[in-house]
Amino acid sequence: MEITKDIKYIGVNDKEIDLFEGQYIVPNGIAYNSYVILDEKIAVMDSVDERFCDEWFKNIKTVLGDKAPDYLVVHHMEPDHSSSIAKFADRYPNAKIVSSAKSFVMMKQFFGTDFSDKQVVVGEGDVLELGAHNLTFVTAPMVHWPEVIVSYDSKDKVLFSADGFGKFGALDAEEDWACEARRYYIGIVGKYGVQVQALLKKASALDIEIICPLHGPVLKEKLGYYLNLYDLWSGYKTESEGVMIAYTSVYGNTKKAAIELQNKLVELGCPKVVVNDLARCDMAEAVEDAFRYGKIVLATTTYNGDIFPFMKTFIDHLTERNFQNKTIGFIENGSWAPVAVKKMQAGFEKSKNITFCSTSVKIMSALNDESRAQIEALAKELA
């Protein structure tokens, strides 16, 4: 694939993977992106997962023929992008490896060597001259590992953005970018909004026409759309108006309450109501929805003097990603000594700018007139 006249795509698609990072369901696989810049000096931009190393080498050969690369630029040391570095060094012994100082420490950890005879250490503002193309490096610590750098090619106005602006899905997957990019961002990078905001500020000073991420498609059009979404996500702002309801239900009564609330909200003209059964849905999808919408409702049972395990896990997923700036309503169910609302509220005690609805729904075993009236009141408050 030609990115520009001098920049070619040499990455691979992974259709074999079932769980990315051991937890994220990827029904359409994922791409490990790598690029090559052809100039007086040839730079390969990142490697790929070692399982696809042979395919990657074939792609390099297709582009370079008998030429050998002068540099391997390593933006990020996560193994899906770095585990082929040692094999690259063996195949191209004269090539230098360009990366941050912390990356070389990690190379020592992963490979038993830091390639001291090949090192080109770069940091903020450093430039790698290839000829007509000059790569300027920008540090991006904790987006989402501490060693991350991104680079900018001033000739073709290309940002090599590491894991930024990536998404799940192989490159031949026909799917909406925002959906899988949002799930990817919130799941993997969501905790580091402050750091992403800092990188966006640096990027705003660059004249960017193309973004080349390490996962997902190369972005050439509507860059304002993608940048705006990243600003929303990293600023923990409401992306879509509506209400997300997440529930767990042992015998179906809490589910009935969640569905009744959904119906009431729809009747009241709520623009969007999304419902997730936490015991059955993709947890990452539920987390994505909670960050996307400005208002959420959590419905669960008191369970062993606490809350149902799936709800506890869900709240942990939210708070560990700096969940904030939300309105939260609660529905609890308990046949005796209900404490679910109290426990759920406590789960957000360290979260910023959380507003709890004044109405909570309390179900004693099954819905009755009183709890139905509470559902109606909660719906009006949310709508």
Output the DSSP codes for 157-179. Answer: TEEE-TTTT--SB-TT--S-HHH
Q: Are residues 219 and 305 in the same domain?
A: no
Q: Are residues 340 and 194 in the same domain?
A: no
Q: Are residues 248 and 110 in the same domain?
A: no
Q: Are residues 40 and 125 in the same domain?
A: yes
CA distance 296 to 294: 7
* Burial group, residue 232, by CB count within 10 angstroms (0-12, 13-18, 19+): middle
Over the stretch 269-307, which tens digit does the pLDDT of each residue have? Answer: 999 999 999 999 999 999 999 999 999 999 999 999 999
Of the three residues 190, 205, 234, the one that is the final residue of a domain is: 234
Assigned domain for 258 exists: yes
pLDDT of residue 192: 96
Of the three residues 213, 234, 255, the one that is the final residue of a domain is: 234
Q: Are residues 215 and 248 in the same domain?
A: no
Q: Are residues 140 and 105 in the same domain?
A: yes
Q: Classify residue 205 by its DSSP letter.
A: T
Q: Are residues 335 and 199 in the same domain?
A: no
CA distance 81 to 216: 13
pTM: 0.93
Distances (CA, A) of 18 to 63, 159, 210: 30, 29, 30
Q: Are residues 211 and 289 in the same domain?
A: no
Q: Classify residue 26 by its DSSP letter.
A: -
Query: From the centroid of its chain, how far is CA 69?
Result: 31
Residue 87 near residue 50, CB atoms below 8 Å: yes
Q: Are residues 140 and 222 in the same domain?
A: yes
Question: Residue-wise pLDDT tens for the chain (383 aa)?
Answer: 899 999 999 999 999 999 999 999 999 999 999 999 999 999 999 999 999 999 999 999 999 999 999 999 999 999 999 999 999 999 999 999 999 999 999 999 999 999 999 999 999 999 999 999 999 999 999 999 999 999 999 999 999 999 999 999 999 999 999 999 999 999 999 999 999 999 999 999 999 999 999 999 999 999 999 999 999 999 999 999 999 999 999 999 999 999 999 999 999 999 999 999 999 999 999 999 999 999 999 999 999 999 999 999 999 999 999 999 999 999 999 999 999 999 999 999 999 999 999 999 999 999 999 999 999 999 999 99
Alpha helix positions (H), the chain: 53-64, 79-82, 85-91, 101-111, 177-184, 193-203, 223-234, 253-267, 283-292, 309-319, 340-347, 369-382
Between helix 193-203 and helix 223-234 the angle, nearest 10°, is 150
Number of domains in the chain: 2
pLDDT of residue 85: 98
CATH code for position 282: 3.40.50.360
Q: Are residues 66 and 109 in the same domain?
A: yes
Q: Are residues 38 and 158 in the same domain?
A: yes
Assigned domain for 191 exists: yes
Assigned domain for 116 exists: yes
Domain limits for position 118: 7-234
Of the three residues 204, 234, 264, the one that is the final residue of a domain is: 234
Q: Are residues 335 and 208 in the same domain?
A: no
**DSSP string spanning 72-131?**
EE-S--SHHHHTTHHHHHHH-TT-EEEE-HHHHHHHHHHHS---TTTEEE--TT-EEE-S
pLDDT of residue 1: 86
CATH code for position 143: 3.60.15.10
